Amino acid sequence: MTAQTFLKTNPEGKEYLPSRRTVEIVGHELLTDSIVRLTVRDEYIAQHSQAAQFANLYSKNNQQISPRPFGIAEINGDEVSFIFAVVGRGTAEFAQLHVGDSIDILGPLGKPFDLSAPGRYLTIGGGLGVPPVLHAAEKLAGRSDATCTAMYGYRDVHFADDFAARYCDDVRSIDNAQGNVIDLLNSWLEEQQGEQQAQQDGRPDLSDVHILTCGPHPMMKAVASWAREHGVEAQLSLEERMGCGYGTCVVCITPTVDGNKKVCIDGPVFTREELGWN
């Protein structure tokens, strides 16, 4: 899927992205001491967002010029949920919002995961990389031609397993004291070897397996390496610091095999081949 945002069409037939707008806070939940699930009401994002897209949230502090990009985690009717960690002044401000408050928002932005192929999807999230793959699981739920297995790596608290269980056929998680997502992948692979008739090389057939992942770069590079080793397609949603979120400021540059790309509009989703993570 090519880089795009999801646009409206005006009466003259010209496409445009709805501008920054004010929306209502309709949900606030503390998942851990520092991780918040914030829900807003925004009909446009709810109707048009795709997995791994994000939205910009804007501070009410005029000294905080740049918005904060947050991956869309779930959609329920016209309600849009985000999951984020409190790491600075902006996120601390958003964490203090209450139901009935308002916030400015822009989106959906960025290139989404391509979920068009049938098959078995492994949605792999690390830490605060969970929201994009959770949204992917939500989009895959109920499809007769696809299954979804969630694999989440946490620092400590397993804060998203219950959300993933709404959509996935199987949810597996691990924290730093137990191991990492590669351990989960290897365990899953051993099960496939026991359940499937092996190919001529002794390996199970993984031709219908698709990996979707988001998280820290070292984790995603390890997942990409595992995918390459086992001949599995992998799409990676990059986490990069952004300024504007729509391609103007050129802050979120990442190297690819075709030169530097902007994560906000050329991504955040790239294949492992595009990134050269082979």
Residue 252 annotated in ligand binding: yes
Sign of CA dihedral 17, 23, 26, 30: positive
**Cα 183 versus chain centre, distance:** 21
Burial group, residue 228, by CB count within 10 angstroms (0-12, 13-18, 19+): middle
Alpha helices in the chain (DSSP H): 43-48, 89-95, 130-140, 161-164, 181-195, 217-229, 272-275
Distance CA 164, CA 152 (A): 10
Distance CA 147, CA 188 (A): 14
Question: Looking up tokens 């499809």, which residue turns up?
Answer: 143
Helix (H, G, I), strand (E, B), or coil: what is residue 267?
coil
Residue 168 annotated in ligand binding: no
In single-letter form, the type of residue at position 226 comes to: W
Sign of CA dihedral 144, 146, 149, 150: negative
**Residues at the annotated binding site for FAD?**
90-91
**Residues at the annotated binding site for [2Fe-2S] cluster?**
244, 249, 252, 264
**Residues at the annotated binding site?**
90-91, 244, 249, 252, 264
